[in-house]
Structure 1
Amino acid sequence: MGSVAGDDFSSSFQPGASGAEGAGPAATPAAGPGYPPPAQAWFTVGVLATVTTVAMLDQNILGLLIQQIKADFNLTDAEAGLLLGPTQAIFYALVAVPFSRYIDRWTRKWIIAGGLIVWSLATAASGLAANFAQLFIARVVVGAGESVNGPTAYSMVADCFPRDKLPRAVSTLQIGSVAGSGLSLLLGGLMIWLVTTLGSPDLPIVGTLRPWQVVLLALGLPGLLISLLLIKVKEPPRHNLRLKTRNAGFKKTISYLWLHVAVFGPMFLGLTIGSLDAGGRAWGAAFFERTYGWSPTQYGIVSGVVSIVAMLAGLYLGAKWAEWFQNRGDPAGAYRVILYTRLVAIPFAIFQPLMPTPELAMAFSSVAYLSLGMNGPMLNAVMLAISPNEIRGQVMTLYLFIYTVVGVGMAPFVTGLTTDHIFTSPDDLRWSIMLLHVVFLPAALAITWLGLKPFRKEVERLNAEDARVA
């Protein structure tokens, strides 16, 4: 496969395309023409996965702490839902989308480093919040910093590997998401237990901190050290340049997506509908406490271990399954993994909130974690595989924008509103979660399925184009 799906114009904008960081003798055959050597490429993925771990840790920790925060600030479920969701979404809309064009032009590792420093400081500041307004503002800034990480990291990974290697590369990058999500539960639960056992510290000026404040303050600072790892990362040369412009803006991106709506439309619409179901995960700790009497510590430790094991298994199995399809001549293998794993997981998701014991509920949750580990990376891999480099950062920003604004932003709030106004009792949180599963998951699967044939045709077209250029 050629490194550039374009013409001579494309190669003129590949930094180092004839030097040490581009094609030529420095790249081994396994790397593919023009791609970084495998050791360099996998080091880049490892560092980006570590940064993603910090991002997910800082983003997801609030779900474990929300019951304590709700009690301290005397919040309703809807107000708590605002902290869990829209705080992440507001600045994603205001920062990530306008900024995304620079992902396709600037040195990407410095964009990630800047975002990491911002969200780490904001997470620490969240631990010093004395009221709802202060915490809301701090979490908005966390969302601002994290908004640039995902699209930029995916853009870099897509320039480190050929198209057929992306499922494994993206799955490896997603280890950061798995580790961050699991550690937010595991470390958070252990830290709450530790602070509760030893007592809250009494700091100068701010006074005695609540356990949830200690957790946020402690988790925010390590990101500053991890940002130093990005100094050792080499910016990969850009590949798959096809639009004959290096300054493609948002209008150009929308025009391209509309021109190829048959393949992009089902992905975007399916993700939008499916993301509305994500509120149940944000309310997981509250659900287990209200329904089964589990403490945040107990839920955090058990759910953290289960999610890490199940999702790591899912990352491995999902990549292997996609490669199994590809090795048998199906270029849409990653897309099939998305469809088939979702189909199997839907019944478990619907019945999970109705389980009579916490053990059974956690067992059903493990199926959801396994499915998420299998199809989550494939969602990003299929989008990267067909997006031109000149607008790849903007396409991924729009794609992740949907998940962040709808899934992270609106879904927890919708779950809280449903509990407050439809089922009316906090003990009925299980019915709110189940209702979202029933309404949104089957619809999202059906719409996403419509994109299978168009995606396969698009990949076949791009592969043929690459072969002519090579």
Structure 2
Amino acid sequence: MATQSAEAGSHATIVPDAGDPSADWPRPAYSWYAVGVLLLAYTLSFVDRMILSLLVAPIRAALDISDTEVSLLIGLAFALFYTLLGLPIAWIADRWNRRNLIVSGVALWSAMTAACGFAGSYATLFLARMGVGVGEAALSPAAYSMLSDMFPRDKLARAMAVYSIGVPLGAGVAMILGSFVVQTVLAAPMVDLPLIGAVDAWRTIFLWVAAPGLLICLLLLTIREPLRRGLAKAGPRSDAAPGFLVHLKRQRVALGALFAGMSLIGLVMYGVIAWVPTFFARTYGMAVSEAGFWFGVIMATGGAAGLVMGGTLADRLFARGVADSHLRVMRLSILLGGPPLLAAALMPTATLAFVMLAIAFPMLTMHGVGTVALQFITPNEYRARVTALYFFVVNLTGLGFGPMLMALLTDHLFADDGALRYSIALVTGVALPLAAIILTAGFSAFARDLAKTAKATG
């Protein structure tokens, strides 16, 4: 049986040899309940993250700001602090109670989302968006670390895939909100709130999407901090930074393949999510709200299906002894989803473009198993930090440059707003094949590092 020892000040119990088949894993029903609660939190985070992009017109009018200033609220104010503060927050997650850290993060980003509704100036709205980013930075690194301690390796990919459904589900819900709820609320210029009085209707939307955060916090309190599994056997873990840096250096090839491959996929996915509604409007004359609704449905349903398919396939291959199964599934997602995504941008009708997107998204979202691969080759004491570094690189590349790259190509290479479809096709046609090549180059290094990590931890 695995020996257990309590780490002083961490509020967590350590199980050094997670590889022991007799390890006392939580009951499956409880573990899947935890996945469900974390999924709700992740979904809410994406709704809160994206809701501002649906309110550009009323915010511009109320605060008298430019498109550039709005873009900074949507992107930089959130993404910079989300990515940068993810690293120190993950350092805390590797040492402290992860459940409590997530509760604190949900409470913070919900409060900051509500604060966006009360912002009276551009500066205060910018600060509130920064707060949303800081709060959300606490979720995924800690959640991935927790799930790694709640599921055996041959079931972990499915669990993380279900958690990751929060990305397409949250993005899809936000798009659908933009087509229905937002329009309905904005039909009334002012809304009377108890104890506050009359306020602009757009401000109440931030309050509505922030409110579920309280329920999520209560649900999270029903989850216990899991036992920490998979610590290195060489002795008590070191808090010194060089140990972490040495780990990164030793696994630089495998981690480099994962980081670069996922960043290129993210470059395409974030760019597509940002520009597809506008693409339908410019290319086919469709209303942005209608395009956003149908694209939201595709993301929510197709994205969820793809994540579950990818996780199930990766688990089955891994159980059969395919050590690099997760990287292989990521490559497969590109090979199956890339061509229809590229074709979607070039279709002669909107209907055919939506059909191609509906085929592409379930395939492409199978790449989400990349975060599982990280957990497999990383000792417990570094998991949250490696995950945060992963999100830092992937989000900074994808969220920071994906939408911008497509816009730059449209403005400066093609110099024609109607050529947005060719910008989407060009980025897709270059970035996804390159990602597949890089992932393939990392197969052997990943399998080697997986064996070394398994030997060192159990």
Under a length normalisation based on structure 2, what TM-score does the superposition of the two structures give?
A: 0.87
CA distance in 1 between counterparts of 2:138 and 2:28 reads 25
CA distance in 2 between counterparts of 1:354 and 1:131 reads 42
Residue 138 (structure 2) aligns with? 148
Residue 129 (structure 2) aligns with? 139
Task: Give the conservation status (yes or no) of the 8 Å contact 1:81–1:412.
Answer: no
Residue 436 (structure 1) aligns with? 427
Task: Give the conservation status (yes or no) of the 8 Å contact 1:419–1:429.
Answer: yes
- Residue 201 of structure 1 aligns to a residue whose secondary structure is strand
Give structure 2 stretches of 5+ with no counterpart.
none
Q: Where do 1:376-391 residues align within 5 Å?
A: 376=368, 378-391=369-382
Residue 225 (structure 2) aligns with? 235
Q: Where do 1:39-78 residues align within 5 Å?
A: 39-66=29-56, 69=59
Residue 322 (structure 1) aligns with? 314
Q: Where do 1:368-383 residues align within 5 Å?
A: 368-376=360-368, 378-383=369-374
CA distance in 1 between counterparts of 2:437 and 2:190 reads 50
Distance of aligned partners of 1:76 and 1:353 in 2 relative to their CA distance in 1, 3 Å threshold: farther
Q: Where do 1:200-349 residues align within 5 Å?
A: 200-202=190-192, 207-211=198-202, 213-242=203-232, 244-277=235-268, 278-349=270-341
Q: Which moved more, 1:149-158 or 1:167-176?
A: 167-176
CA distance in 2 between counterparts of 1:71 and 1:426 reads 24
Residue 172 (structure 1) aligns with? 162
CA distance in 2 between counterparts of 1:20 and 1:99 reads 20
The amino acid of 2:223's aligned partner reads: V
Residue 78 (structure 2) aligns with? 88
CA distance in 1 between counterparts of 2:41 and 2:183 reads 26
CA distance in 2 between counterparts of 1:271 and 1:43 reads 28
Give structure 1 stretches of 5+ with no counterpart.
24-29
CA distance in 1 between counterparts of 2:216 and 2:150 reads 21
Distance of aligned partners of 1:285 and 1:128 in 2 relative to their CA distance in 1, 3 Å threshold: farther
Residue 363 of structure 1, CA deviation: 2.0
Task: Give the conservation status (yes or no) of the 8 Å contact 1:338–1:379.
Answer: yes
Residue 168 of structure 1, CA deviation: 1.2
Residue 110 (structure 1) aligns with? 100
Under a length normalisation based on structure 1, what TM-score does the superposition of the two structures give?
A: 0.85
CA distance in 2 between counterparts of 1:439 and 1:77 reads 29
CA distance in 1 between counterparts of 2:21 and 2:401 reads 41
Q: Which moved more, 1:232-241 or 1:67-76?
A: 67-76
CA distance in 1 between counterparts of 2:123 and 2:417 reads 23
Residue 447 of structure 1, CA deviation: 1.0
Q: Which moved more, 1:180-189 or 1:98-107?
A: 180-189
Task: Give the conservation status (yes or no) of the 8 Å contact 1:81–1:413.
Answer: no
CA distance in 2 between counterparts of 1:91 and 1:134 reads 16
The Cα RMSD (Å) is: 3.1
In the alignment of these two chains, the number of paired residues is 449
- Residue 232 of structure 1 aligns to a residue whose secondary structure is coil
Task: Determine what percentage of the aligned residue pairs are the same residue.
Answer: 34
State the Cα deviation string for residues 388-428 of structure 1 (Å, max 9, x = none): 00111100000011122222233333444444444444444
The amino acid of 1:411's aligned partner reads: G
Residue 405 (structure 1) aligns with? 396
